[in-house]
Amino acid sequence: MRIGTRGSALALAQSEGVRASLPGDPREHRLVIIKTAGDLQPNAALVRIGGKGVFTKEIEEALLRREIDIAVHSLKDLPTDERPGLKLGALLARDDPRDALVSREGLPFEQLRPGASIGTSSLRRRSQILAHRPDLRVQDLRGNVPTRLARLEGGHLDAIIVAAAGLHRLKLIDRATQVLEEAVMLPAPGQGILAIQIRADDKATEAAIAGLNDAHAAAEATAERALLEGLGGGCLVPVGARARAKDGMLELTAYVGHPDGRPSVRLGASGPAGAPADLGRTLAIALLGQGARPILDEVRSMERFP
């Protein structure tokens, strides 16, 4: 199989893991590196590039042109509205979905000095940082994980926040000062899950990768992405969500907050694991009714958020 992937160290590590899991001899499968809009503009703020599909669009187009057979994505980067002609063929078992703090002086989040600078390109992370620590300075930070770590080591920032799953996959988790609990930092919908995307009419590939699909990850992802879709959001809006599948039930917690840390809405709900999309949509309606709508409207109307 030809495996479409971005060229960052993390994307390649993720795709190599998928290659090793595919049926047959891994040496017979090859990676095809595709540059996305997000890769071609590494220093531009994501909200200015346009957001939707910024790390996936070019890979999806290559899949539609039959230049690759499967695409490997971080699920949190994939827009919730499925591209015509494509489908999700498998969602892999979830890695740690939480965010991790890497501090230059080894200080945990609660002990960072007032006025300390913390780097992230995510409005979701910015919102939750300032909701808990309005005394910190949040600075926009783009680039792959090694680039972000280098910026931190160079003294440009006091701390950064990245996905714990990314550190695990790059074997850099020992660099984390603290893995942030979800009470402080609710992750992005789909965080920690790898998605294998295929052409909708490719039955042979669908059958070949079916065994890679993880039922728990699929249920959790469906609930989280239905919530995001119900809020009318893309992958850049300040929305956090975490579903947990256990004993035939799903528990879903969600957060909507303004990028400056005020105001915010956080709610939870539960339902049968067999109807994850219904749970996500129901909680989205509840969030909109409890004050999420004006927050999202204001964020979308901001000049820096097209």
Any idea which residues carry the catalytic annotation? 77
Nearest of 256, 236, 296 to residue 46 by alpha carbon = 236
Strand partners, 79: none
Measured CA to CA, the distance from residue 49 to residue 16 in angstroms comes to 28
Nearest of 264, 268, 199 to residue 227 by alpha carbon = 268
The side-by-side arrangement of strands in the sheet containing 2-5 is 30-33, 2-5, 70-74, 194-199, 86-91
Q: Which residue is it, tokens 């989280």? A: 224
**From the CB of residue 198, how many other CB atoms can be counted at a distance below 10 Å?**
23
